[in-house]
């Protein structure tokens, strides 16, 4: 495996990717030479897009960002970071309510692998209320997701749910 010491990893299930995720990826790409968007299945969630579909949507959504690579992983994030030799994690903090969970996850990841450092970025204010579940719910109930997701995701949601 390549030495990815200078890559930062932005993990998530991205079901689907939203403009809020893209905002964080863009900000991170200004701070680090390489960003790995690491897509996985969250064992606590039921996904509507397959892993490969989410990867394809993220690749399309980030094609203008040269330093961004979209990869997938399974199992523990801490093990994946060891495998790719990259120990900087990027996480988004949308609101104070995210903090407790994120703090717990950062400490747990560091307990699992003491080399891991988590860096928190705040998205643009306009994305602080956004989540993938909300986007899915809007799409399933026939609403427009245009303002919340990249074009390719909007089209895919339209195909699936026939929304506006």
Q: What string marks each residue from 61 to 80 as x (binds ligand COA by CB under 6 A) or -?
A: ---------------xxx--
For residue 51, the minimal CB distance to ligand COA (Å) is 12
Q: Which of 21, 54, 91, 136 is catalytic?
A: 21
**Structural element, H or E, at residue 61:** helix 51-61
Q: What string marks each residue from 76 to 115 as x (binds ligand COA by CB under 6 A) or -?
A: xxx-------------x-x----------x--xx------
* Nearest residue to 136 (alpha-carbon basis) of 49, 13, 29: 49
54 is a site residue for ligand COA (CB under 6 A): no
Hey, what long-range contacts does 131-136 have (CB within 8 A, 24 or more apart)?
131/18, 131/20, 132/13, 132/14, 132/15, 132/16, 132/17, 132/18, 135/16, 135/18, 136/15, 136/16, 136/48
Query: Which residues bind to ligand COA, rule: CB under 6 A?
Result: 11-13, 15, 18, 20-21, 24, 40, 42, 45, 76-78, 92, 94, 105, 108-109, 123, 127, 130-133
């Amino acid at each position: 495996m390549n030495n990815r010491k200078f890559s930062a990893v932005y993990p998530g299930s991205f079901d689907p990717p939203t403009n809020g995720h893209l905002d964080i990826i863009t900000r991170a790409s200004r701070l680090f030479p390489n960003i790995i968007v690491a897509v996985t299945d969250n064992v606590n969630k039921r996904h509507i897009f397959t892993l490969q579909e989410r990867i394809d949507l993220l690749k399309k959504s980030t094609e203008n960002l040269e330093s961004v690579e979209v990869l997938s992983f399974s199992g523990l994030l801490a093990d994946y970071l060891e495998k790719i030799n990259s120990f900087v994690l990027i996480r988004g903090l949308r609101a104070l309510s995210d903090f407790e969970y994120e703090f717990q996850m950062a400490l747990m990841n560091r307990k699992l692998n003491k080399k891991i450092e988590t860096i928190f970025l705040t998205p643009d204010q306009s994305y602080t209320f956004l989540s993938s579940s909300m986007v899915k719910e809007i799409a399933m109930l026939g609403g427009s997701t245009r303002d919340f997701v990249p074009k390719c995701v909007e089209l895919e949601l339209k195909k699936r749910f026939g929304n506006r």
